[in-house]
Structure 1
Amino acid sequence: MGFRFLLLCLFLLVIELYAFQALRTLVKIKWALLSYQIISVLVLVFIVYSFMQFDRSVGQTKQTMFTMGLVLLVYIPKLVLTLVLIGEDVFRLGAGSVNHFISSNDNVTFFASRRKFVSQIGLGLAAVPFLSLIYGIFEGRYNYKVIKQSIFFPDLPDAFDGFKITQISDVHSGSFDNPEKIEYAIDLVNEQNSDLILFTGDIVNTDAKEMHPWLDTFNRIKKHEYGKYSVLGNHDYGEYVTWPSEKAKEANFQAIKNLYGQIDFKLLLNEHTFIEKGGQKIALVGVENWGHNFKQAGDLNKAAQHLNKEDFKILMSHDPSHWDYEVQHHEKNFHLTLSGHTHGMQFGIEIPGYFKWSLAQYVYKQWAGLYENLGRYVYVNRGFGYHAYPGRVGIMPEITVIELKKGKSVA
């Protein structure tokens, strides 16, 4: 722990030194440079103090989210600036080496002065993540998007051709601070007029009490003709804080499970039910959380017990790594899996239909949107809420509407 802390301190020191060099290249007013140094030290002290005050018996609070936002807001732009100046240093070192061995002029300086325009470029590039993070905090986190997706299945029962499903995921109600925006999001959910609504887990960050102020709001989600169903996410188990006793932890877990019922969602715990329409049916399967790097309480075999391979099946499983490791090759043939969990890391670049990138893709093979393998699909919802960083940049909060279609994919 001590060695890692030392490396972190060294890393931050390098970033601060380079950032100050860039500013000093452009600004010659001593009091302005001194003010910058004082502010930088005060911000760093505040960040360190805030993290030292983190209480594992409480978990994430508004202050920890503010601190995380501040860390990203301060150090990502400075990191961009540092990378630009390091690139210039590599060039200066190369040029100095060439001059040293080739030039006959003894007055040539080995290490040339830092160039003003490079610092200007660095600051310009650093402004992009800085302004993006500001936007993400004040606007992006509540910039809800309704994403519609048609998926074709040759063996879909005829009665379900055109059947619409709304999916929400990763509410993280303990992070909310704007009732008006949440009311707006619930209105968007209701406007979709879907046949069925599914909630794929993480109703809170940790504690069941986080959802209490929002129960009335989420009870505004209208009844859907074919029901409202949910599963648990990794945060619903209360495993990211230290509890005074196992009894207290279990009581919180039971209270979280009850929350889903309190907003009129039927919680599926490693079990399945049938959705019937026009004399035909599809199976809706719900498993507890199963993640490659997270809690593995999901039991797919138990949930699908007595189902046949030929039955058309929709699976709710919070973590998309479950699809990657177990579901997509399962002998029972799960036609469509609905997941969430990744949030797209709440930071990335997305041009719908053309391009998407996030650090999430280096952790999860399936991290946002629709994926297919041999006619089996997984859709990863980008999340309704936010966690840790109190914002969203590029990867916006999502309400998904999936339409089931009979036939072969047109893609």
Structure 2
Amino acid sequence: MILRILILCLVLFVIETYAYQALKTVVKPKSFLVSYQIISALLLVFIVYSFTQFDRSVGQTGQSMRAMGLLLLVYIPKIILTLVLFGEDIYRIGFGSINHFAKFNDSVDFLVSRRKFVSQIGLGIAAVPFLSLLYGVTMGKYNYKVIKQRIFFPDLPDAFDGLTITHISDVHSGSFDNPDKINYAIDLINEQNSDLILFTGDIVNTDAKEMHPWIDTFKRIKKHKYGKYSVLGNHDYGEYVTWPSESAKAKNFQDIKDLHQQIDFKLMLNEHAFIENGTDKIALVGVENWGVKFKKAGDLQKASNGLSKEDFKILMSHDPSHWDAEINNHEKNFHLTLSGHTHGMQFGIEIPGVIKWSPIQYVYKQWAGLYENLGRYVYVNRGFGFHAYSGRVGIMPEITVIELKKGLNVA
């Protein structure tokens, strides 16, 4: 433990030293540099203090989220500066070594002075993540996007040709801090006038009480023609905090399940239901959380008991890793799976038709948007809320509207 603390202190010292050198090379007023050092020290103290106050019995709080936001906002730009100046140091040492042994110019110091333009380049590059992260915590986290997706199925029952589904996921109500923005998002949901609304889990971060201030807000989601259904996500099991007793944990879990009824959603716990239009029907299947690296409470066999391969099926499963692991090649043929969980890491670059990238793609093969294999689809919602980092950069909060069409995909 002591060794890790010492290593961390050494890394912080190196980062702070390089960042200060970059600034010192470009900015000359001593008062500015002193102010920078004082502010940096105060921010570091606040970040360290906030993390030392983290209570496993409480879990994430507003202070811990602010600390995480500040940590990223302050140190990602400084790490970039460190890498740029460290690269310059490799050049300076290499040049000095060659000059020293080759005796090209004895009048030149072993280490040449830092070049101002290199520090300027470093500061310019570092400004990009700084401004992006600043935008993320001030505006990005509530910059809701309605994403529309049309999917074709040759065996879609005729009566459901044109069925629209609003899909939301990962509410994380314990992170909300702006009622006006949440009400705006609920209005966006209602404006879609979909036939069916599906919510794929994580109603809270940990504690059922987090949702209590927002129950009336989410009850404003209007009644949909074919209903409002939901499933549980990994955070809904209360497994990321220390509980005083197993009974307290169990009560919280029951309270979380009750929340769905309080906001007029039918919570599906490893079960299925049919939505019908005339003589045609679609099976809606909902499983508890099942993730390769998370809780495996989902029971696909139990949820689909009694369904045939020919039944058209929409499956709700919170974690998209479930798709490759069990769903994709399942004998009962789940036509469309709806998931969430990844949040798109709340960080990445998305320009439709040009680029879609996030570090989370190196962990999850299906992490945002629509994926297909042999006519079976999974759609991964980017999340309604946010968690850990109180912001979003590049990957915006999402309300998905999916239209089901009968026929072959012509794209």
Shorter-chain TM-score tier: over 0.9
Structure-2 residue corresponding to 1:364: 364
Give the Cα–Cα distance (whole angstroms) in 2 for the partners of residues 274 and 90 of structure 1. Answer: 66
Aligned-CA RMSD value: 1.2
Structure-1 residue corresponding to 2:271: 271
The aligned runs of 1:200-219 (5 Å cut-off) are 200-219=200-219
Structure-2 residue corresponding to 1:81: 81
The aligned runs of 1:4-403 (5 Å cut-off) are 4-403=4-403
Give the Cα–Cα distance (whole angstroms) in 1 for the partners of residues 222 and 362 of structure 2. Answer: 38
Compute the displacement of 1:278 (Å): 2.9
Bigger CA drift: 225-234 or 25-34?
25-34
SS in 1 for 2:108: coil
Compute the displacement of 1:266 (Å): 0.3
SS in 2 for 1:14: helix
Q: Deviations over 1:257-280 (max 9, x none)?
A: 000010010000011111111311
Give the Cα–Cα distance (whole angstroms) in 1 for the partners of residues 6 and 160 of structure 2. Answer: 59
SS in 1 for 2:81: helix
SS in 2 for 1:273: strand
Structure 1 residue identity aligned to 2:281: K
Give the Cα–Cα distance (whole angstroms) in 2 for the partners of residues 303 and 17 of structure 1. Answer: 57
Give the Cα–Cα distance (whole angstroms) in 1 for the partners of residues 94 and 276 of structure 2. Answer: 72
SS in 1 for 2:188: helix
Over 3 Å counting, the alpha-carbon distance change for 1:314 and 1:2 in structure 2 is: farther
Give the Cα–Cα distance (whole angstroms) in 2 for the partners of residues 359 and 3 of structure 1. Answer: 29
Q: Deviations over 1:67-124 (max 9, x none)?
A: 1111011001111111111221222233223323434322222221110011011111
- Segments of 4+ moved more than 6 angstroms: none
Compute the displacement of 1:313 (Å): 0.9
Q: Deviations over 1:21-52 (max 9, x none)?
A: 10111123333222222221221111111111
Give the Cα–Cα distance (whole angstroms) in 1 for the partners of residues 346 and 104 of structure 2. Answer: 55
Give the Cα–Cα distance (whole angstroms) in 1 for the partners of residues 261 and 6 of structure 2. Answer: 48
Bigger CA drift: 150-159 or 35-44?
35-44
Give the Cα–Cα distance (whole angstroms) in 2 for the partners of residues 3 and 372 of structure 1. Answer: 48
Structure 2 residue identity aligned to 1:386: F
Give the Cα–Cα distance (whole angstroms) in 2 for the partners of residues 13 and 331 of structure 1. Answer: 57
TM-score (norm 2): 0.98
Over 3 Å counting, the alpha-carbon distance change for 1:154 and 1:5 in structure 2 is: farther
Give the Cα–Cα distance (whole angstroms) in 2 for the partners of residues 298 and 406 of structure 1. Answer: 30
SS in 2 for 1:367: coil
Bigger CA drift: 101-110 or 355-364?
101-110
Bigger CA drift: 8-17 or 329-338?
8-17
SS in 2 for 1:269: coil
Structure 2 residue identity aligned to 1:70: L
Give the Cα–Cα distance (whole angstroms) in 1 for the partners of residues 179 and 28 of structure 2. Answer: 47
Structure 1 residue identity aligned to 2:209: K
Structure 1 residue identity aligned to 2:82: T
Give the Cα–Cα distance (whole angstroms) in 1 for the partners of residues 227 and 180 of structure 2. Answer: 26
Structure 1 residue identity aligned to 2:159: A
Specify every segment of 5 or more residues in structure 1 that has no aligned partner in the other structure, as ranges. none
Bigger CA drift: 393-402 or 2-11?
2-11
Give the Cα–Cα distance (whole angstroms) in 1 for the partners of residues 130 and 50 of structure 2. Answer: 21
Compute the displacement of 1:207 (Å): 0.7
Bigger CA drift: 261-270 or 7-16?
7-16
Give the Cα–Cα distance (whole angstroms) in 2 for the partners of residues 11 and 150 of structure 1. Answer: 49
Give the Cα–Cα distance (whole angstroms) in 1 for the partners of residues 272 and 371 of structure 2. Answer: 23
SS in 1 for 2:404: strand
Bigger CA drift: 90-99 or 183-192?
90-99
Identity of aligned residues (%): 79
Bigger CA drift: 78-87 or 22-31?
22-31
SS in 2 for 1:382: coil
SS in 1 for 2:122: helix
SS in 2 for 1:201: coil
Specify every segment of 5 or more residues in structure 2 that has no aligned partner in the other structure, as ranges. none
Give the Cα–Cα distance (whole angstroms) in 1 for the partners of residues 261 and 5 of structure 2. Answer: 44
Bigger CA drift: 103-112 or 12-21?
103-112
Aligned residues: 411
Q: Deviations over 1:124-171 (max 9, x none)?
A: 111111111111111111100000000111111111111100001000
